[in-house]
Amino acid sequence: MSADFLYGIEVIINGLMAGVLYALVALGFVLIFKASGIFNYAQGVMALFAALTLVGIMEGEVPFSHLINAIFGTEIHHFGWEVPALLAILLTLVVMIFFAWAVQHFVFRHLVGQEPIILFMATIGLAYFLEGIGDLMWGSDIKTLALGLPQGGSLWVEDMTSGLGGDDFYGFFIDKLDMVATVVAIVLVTGLILFAQYTKQGRAMRAVADDHQAALSVGISLNFIWVLVWSLAGLVALVAGIMWGAKSGVQFSLSLIALKALPVLMLGGFTSIPGAIVGGLIIGVGEKLFEYMIGPLVGGATENWFAYVLALIFLVFRPQGLFGEKIIERV
């Protein structure tokens, strides 16, 4: 096999793994959109907020320390302890569930039956609020997320594959963190699917996604289900935040990854969980492969726009996405 071909395969593998992260963010969008019809602009900020909270808890930082110090003239910044990673993740999850409850209780409960655009505007407000609160709680410095996840290229994979392509080929370069992210994402998605298919709450969740009125008539509390889906979206945001944070540090630009999820949703459809996953993978592979093959011809940096152009093409020819429900109005 020629080295070029093998490099192409390497690009595809790395693209798939980048796509997993896109898919994770998109999944958070789909969960909320299916159950409540709300397009949650704040999903990216939720990932940021979860990552910030995780780092803060792990390092024993005092939340709102700047505010407390400014008001009381104190100089406290740390509790002086460090929390083990697993416990910190659980505590962060508790914070995200509280956030889900608060969002439902203080915002969306009062907006039931409003136009989608109003719900969307509310999530924009939510995004800025959450970004501000994250800043106020944990400060605005770039933080490193030291979870002890493996980093760097996997030498094992490189060794195993170096023999494939002769002298010009040194084996596949695959980031260990990407491999971990892929495994975690597979576990998470499998868990979500099992939950939706086989538990009482999962069944109720699917029922609410399908028809609100019918769900009410069989005794399902819409409020409870909405808190549940926001909590699940919080969980997905936490996982996405951990993976992106471990890769490139926890910084406020993390919230912009939400924008990359938009073309993923255009491709996969807003209401399909498999769609979010396949869409994420297509975008991941597509942009890496495009950069590798066409990039040099047009001066590179195609990764910035490739996903959006692909989404635009989809909007023209298949607006409901690959897996979305086709909207047929009866006349």
Partner 1 sequence: MKDMLTPYVTDDGRQIGETLMDMRNITLRFGGVEAIKDISFNIQEGEIRAIIGPNGAGKSSMLNVISGFYNPQEGEVWFRGKKRPPMKPFQVARLGIARTFQNIALFEGMSVLDNVMTGRLNHMNASMFSQALWKGRAEREETENREAVERVIDFLEIQAIRKTPVGRLPYGLKKRVELARALAAEPKLLLLDEPMAGMNVEEKEDMSRFILDVNDEFGTTIALIEHDMGVVMDLSDRVIVMDYGRKIGDGTPHEVRNNQEVIDAYLGVSHD
Residues forming the site for partner 1 (CB under 8 A): 195, 198-201, 203-204, 206-207, 210-211, 213-222
CB 71, min distance to partner 1, A: 41
Helix (H, G, I), strand (E, B) or coil at 229: helix
Between 173 and 195, name the residue whose CB sits nearer to partner 1.
195
CB 46, min distance to partner 1, A: 22
Q: How buried is 296 (Cβ within 10 angstroms: 0-12 exposed, 13-18 middle, 19+ buried)?
A: exposed
CA distances from 167 to 1, 22, 164, 325 (A): 11, 35, 9, 50
> Which residues are CB-contacts of 7 (< 8 A; sequence separation ≥ 6)?
169, 292
Between 18 and 220, name the residue whose CB sits nearer to partner 1.
220
Between 103 and 215, name the residue whose CB sits nearer to partner 1.
215
Instruction: Extract the tokens encoding 102.
Output: 């608060």
Q: Could you tell me the end-to-end alpha-carbon distance of the chain, in angstroms, rounded to an integer? A: 57
Between 25 and 215, name the residue whose CB sits nearer to partner 1.
215
Question: In whole angstroms, what is the distance from residue 314 CA to residue 278 CA?
Answer: 14
Between 275 and 286, name the residue whose CB sits nearer to partner 1.
275
CB 176, min distance to partner 1, A: 30
Phi, psi values for residue 140, rounded to 5°:
-105, 10
CB 141, min distance to partner 1, A: 38
Between 82 and 325, name the residue whose CB sits nearer to partner 1.
325
Question: In whole angstroms, what is the distance from residue 208 CA to residue 264 CA?
Answer: 24
Would you say 170 and 158 are in contact if contact means Cβ atoms under 8 Å apart?
Answer: yes
CB 271, min distance to partner 1, A: 9
Question: In whole angstroms, what is the distance from residue 227 CA to residue 204 CA?
Answer: 13
CB 204, min distance to partner 1, A: 6
CB 69, min distance to partner 1, A: 41
Residue 244: count other Cβ atoms within 10 Å of its Cβ.
24
CA distances from 59 to 74, 75, 81, 212, 237 (A): 20, 17, 7, 43, 20
Between 138 and 226, name the residue whose CB sits nearer to partner 1.
226
